[in-house]
Structure 1
Amino acid sequence: MKTVLRALGPAMPRPATGDSARAALGAALILLITGLLLGHLPGAPAAGLIAPFGATAFLICVVPNSPLAQPWSVVIGSVVSAMAALAALWLLPASLPPLAIAGLAVALAILAMHASRSMHPPGGAVALVIVLSADPAAPPSLLYALSPVGDGAALLVLCGYLWHRLSGRTYPFRQPPVQSPNLTADPTADRRLGLRPEDLQTILTRLRLSPNLGPEDLGRALEVAEAEATARHLGGLTAADIMSRDVVALPPEATAHELAQAFRHHGFNTLPLRDAKGGFAGLIHDRDLIEADPDQPATALAQPAVTQPPEAQLAEILPLLLDTRQQSLPIVDQGQLVGIVTRSDLVALLAAKIRSQAPETA
């Protein structure tokens, strides 16, 4: 009984209430806007919407990183499914039972989505609703696949993009590869030993998970898991354990010439600014001085930077120094700059841990 209940029970954790509320509001808004715009198109349904668009809105707003919710899948999947249904209506004998035509239309839609790499579950509903609502004596023309189906799918994608931009999420999720900090084609050093995107895609294909999970999702999950595992392996260290406490910081009124002297004297790649009250006032990289005027004030060169408190775990620190262009992480406690953690600190820490675990030689 426990096995049965486990198999039939919820297969996912409970979503955060804020995420659910944001997704619900987004779905309502993009359906409303799409319906209003579609209602003015010739040949569109009276409500401006077709039923499968509700499922499409769900995917775009609830799981925007799913391969099934990406623009190609939404638009092309919907259009080819509609074309499959219309082809079934025009080519199959009218004497066939409507349910038989509907089943064949959905089968053709699945094959069409598979061939075009645009798997989109609402596409099956598009094919079904077109067949079941069509007049057998006068089925819609193939233009119906472009309007309102294609138009509606494209508007849902556009509205979804705008909604996620406003709510702080990324959509479409498939973005261009992140360029290395040095603006070269090489991946960052921490990623050169990992699996390549094509390796991840091979794994997903072998496990038959490609329709549900993209290589970008898997790669991101693996990176976070590896960082967490590394942090645990190093014994739950915090920023306070590894940070430099004797921080060399310049005042905001320092000039670019004074900054250059400090970089040359200490050999650092970054220098923080500390205001008169001891607070963090920005981070300056040595590369920022290349074209700077010698009398240019430090405030004009300083860049905002992510900071962390002294109690921040190593699992929180690692991704920040690996995924951003800043090479140092200021440590701030109650508004005061109390330390700094650099990539060099992490390298030294990992090297010491490796040496401590290396087998002793005679």
Structure 2
Amino acid sequence: MQIVARLMRALGPALPAVHPVEALRAGVGAFIGLAVVGMLVLSPVVDLQTGLYLIAPFGASAVLLFAVPNAPLAQPWSAVVGNTLAALIGVAVCMTVPEPAMRIALAVGLSIAVMILCRAVHPPAGAVAMTAAMNPEAVDRLGFWFALAPVALGTVALVVLAMIYARLTGRRYPFRHFEDRNAQGTTDPASIQRLGLSEAELTDLLERYRQSFNMGVEDLARLIGAAELQAAGHRTSPMIAADVMSRDLVTVAADTPVSEVADLFRRHKCTSLPVVGPEDRFLGVIFQMHLIDRARDDALRLNRGFGAAMARMLDRSRDRPAQAHEIMGVAGPRATPETPIAALLPLMAEGAVDAVPVLQRGRLRGIVTRTDLIAALAKLSLHQPDQHS
């Protein structure tokens, strides 16, 4: 029975469970991408008389671009160059090898080898080469034009749509490399990635365990950093949010004027203000950045300077001044009094939030700020044994 159980585990899903929202995000993205590309290449305006407009491999490319956009195999270079090279090779082989089975095998095999050498591995490209090798009539009519349209044109369109969709849905595509700027626009690595390991060492780890096709260097850095933070969080046990949260809170109502919100930020020197309804029902939270974002949006919308937009937003004499519910955030992370500190550490370390509201049955009970967390960790360190004694 143990052998059967192990076999069933081995044959079961290798991927972890995913939230339904993420599955929906990927599915909708693929639908939009293929629909737009289909309209593009099937449009009479760009009718190229190819006969192979929306080829089947685009469906496989859509899975990578929209479902696993962080994968190295899904990056723009891999997708565009990989598909285009495979199309060129498939057409060339189709023109020179008459025997069908040999033609198909050779086209796919050569495509794989060339993609690896060009660091442009994209699994759907194998199907691109196979599509060309299986359609000698179309190749006779199109020649190498097939590699340009629909293959290159369609892949570029999918990549551009994936970039736009990722930005609109809060994802990152293409993934950020080590030399790119971080979320704050500076060149320092994100705090979670400051591991003491160089990019070359991380690359060596991926190559040593033959994972370079499955994971990028930045992904590995982020995972190692997250694992270290999680391990550090375990050492804080049994500390929970209720042990460290601020309880005597400064809050605002949904209809509080934004000018009053700004006054509260200045008076109390705080970085966040929860928005509550009757009986402390939690509605959202305002960070100082929300004021800046709203003023910037108004400046762009009204075609005026940032300072003038900020002054207008804080003007108490307006007929209808901006209110708290118009700028508050509602989608941020939340905790309960029993949430372990280990779960809050990564959120604070990554800079995603400055504070996490603590709720109980929808009512605000406290808030854990970055200051609260630092104070708790400092206090904990006083009770740790001296490692150098």
TM-score under structure 1 length normalisation: 0.76
Aligned pair partner of 1:186 in 185, 188, 201: 188
Q: 1:285 to 1:172 in 2, by over 3 A?
A: closer
CA offsets per residue over residues 92-115 of structure 1, 9 Å max, x none? 4x5x52322322222221122123
Letter of the aligned partner of 1:44 in structure 2? T
Moved more, 24-33 or 107-116: 24-33
Structure 1 residue 188 displacement after superposition: 5.2
Match of 1:244 in 2: 246
Match of 1:172 in 2: 173
SS across alignment from 2:368:
strand
Q: Say yes or no: does 1:36 pair with 2:61.
A: no
Letter of the aligned partner of 2:50 in structure 1? A
Q: 1:255 to 1:65 in 2, by over 3 A?
A: closer
Q: Say yes or no: does 1:45 pair with 2:72.
A: no
Structure 1 residue 205 displacement after superposition: 1.8
Match of 1:97 in 2: 99
SS across alignment from 1:42:
coil
Structure 1 residue 82 displacement after superposition: 0.9
Aligned pairs (5 A) from 1:205-354: 205-247=207-249, 254=260, 260=266, 262-263=268-269, 270=271, 272=273, 282-283=285-286, 304=328, 306=332, 307-324=334-351, 326-333=353-360, 337-354=364-381
- RMSD of aligned Cα (Å): 4.1
- Partners of 1:133 and 1:76 in 2: CA distance: 21
Match of 2:298 in 1: none
Q: 1:300 to 1:338 in 2, by over 3 A?
A: farther
SS across alignment from 2:134:
helix
CA offsets per residue over residues 143-183 of structure 1, 9 Å max, x none? 221111111212332344455556x35252414745365x6
Contact kept? 1:231, 1:237, Cα under 8 Å: no
Q: Say yes or no: does 1:69 pair with 2:54.
A: no
- Partners of 1:316 and 1:249 in 2: CA distance: 24
Structure 1 residue 209 displacement after superposition: 0.7
Structure 1 residue 223 displacement after superposition: 3.6
Aligned pair partner of 1:80 in 69, 72, 85: 85
Contact kept? 1:27, 1:57, Cα under 8 Å: yes
TM-score under structure 2 length normalisation: 0.72
SS across alignment from 1:357:
coil
Unaligned residue ranges in structure 2 (runs of 5+): 293-306
- Partners of 1:22 and 1:199 in 2: CA distance: 34
Contact kept? 1:180, 1:186, Cα under 8 Å: no
Contact kept? 2:195, 2:225, Cα under 8 Å: no
Structure 1 residue 240 displacement after superposition: 1.0
**Percent identity of equivalent pairs:** 33
Structure 1 residue 25 displacement after superposition: 4.9
Aligned pairs, how many?
349
Letter of the aligned partner of 1:68 in structure 2? L
Structure 1 residue 29 displacement after superposition: 4.5
Match of 1:266 in 2: none
Q: Say yes or no: does 1:11 pair with 2:14.
A: yes
CA offsets per residue over residues 253-307 of structure 1, 9 Å max, x none? 74867754544xxxxx536367796677754659x89x888x9579979864545
Structure 1 residue 241 displacement after superposition: 0.9
Q: Say yes or no: does 1:355 pair with 2:361.
A: no
Contact kept? 1:231, 1:314, Cα under 8 Å: yes
- Partners of 2:277 and 2:129 in 1: CA distance: 68
